[in-house]
Amino acid sequence: MKRLRHIAIEGPIGAGKSTLASLLAPPLGAELLLERPHENPFLGDFYADGPRYAFQTQLFFTLYYFMTGLHALHMIGGLTLIVGFLTRPVAFLLAGEMAWAYFTVHQPQGALPIENRGEAAALYAFVFLFFSTHGAGAFSVDAALGLENAQPNYPGEVAERWRYRDGSGEIGVIASVTQAFCRDCTRARLSTDGKLYTCLFATDGFDLRGLLRGGASDAMLGNAVAAIWRQRADRYSEIRTGNTAKVEKVEMSYIGG
């Protein structure tokens, strides 16, 4: 029998995966690789009250796997930049990821990079931003394929787009968290109960149903919508912090994505 290279034990939380793996590893002479459940702040509550804390516990593990995947993004992204393949979109993503890392991990510890140990994150963010705007050099895969920056189709377009010069296709990236477009947003949404929302993360909407039922003319309704939009000051994605995440807001499923 061939020696097994890997054995993966999977199952729901609390099924005993770690216990089983610990029992199997010694007789098989295998290296034991376990999750790090002690980092999950909900795990103790889950074992005390599983039905109540199952979602929070699993969500933390999912986000943990996502953060682990960021390391793969760094490696793959670095390789693509070295050969100059998809340089602009990849560098754009990496610049946003570095900026997100700086402002969420380092910046709360101090105002300046030299104080918060965020010099590397800040430096990489600007380097990747440079590549995202200037592209790869003449001796690159992008130069051979002919990838170029695409102009927006309309004011306030949310995607950053690149296209191949031969017309074979294009690539688009929407990075609303790291590259917020609040100031250029041109979108308002009307809910089924007649409220106008000027942001996906608004805490409340403006009542248009009352105007309609009050006999407002089309001109009055148009003026009301124009006035609402002129005083719009939504900047949720620009000022997003741990505190804003706690603010009650309208659900996207309620007003549409």
pLDDT at 257 over 90: no
DSSP characters over 97-121: HHHHHIIIIIGGG-SSHHHHT-HHH
pLDDT at 127 over 60: yes
- Encode pLDDT of 132-157 as tens digits: 888 888 788 877 777 778 888 887 78
Q: What mean pLDDT is predicted for residues 47-64?
A: 76
- Encode pLDDT of 197-250 as tens digits: 988 888 888 999 999 899 999 999 999 999 999 998 888 777 777 677 677 778
Q: What is the rounded end-to-end Cα distance, in angstroms, of the chain?
A: 54
Secondary structure of residue 56 in the 3-state scheme: helix
User: What per-residue confidence (pLDDT) applies to 1?
Assistant: 42
Q: The whole model's pTM is what?
A: 0.43
139: alpha, beta or left? (left if phi > 0; alpha if psi -120 to 50): beta
* Other beta carbons less than 10 A from residue 224's beta carbon: 16
Percent with pLDDT over 90 in the chain = 8
Dist. CA 199–CA 90, nearest whole Å: 28
Residue type, 208: L
pLDDT at 93 over 80: yes
User: What per-residue confidence (pLDDT) applies to 209?
Assistant: 92
Dist. CA 94–CA 214, nearest whole Å: 52
User: What per-residue confidence (pLDDT) applies to 227?
Assistant: 93
Q: What mean pLDDT is predicted for residues 90-106?
A: 84
pLDDT at 10 over 80: no
| Residue for token pair 């995947």 | 69
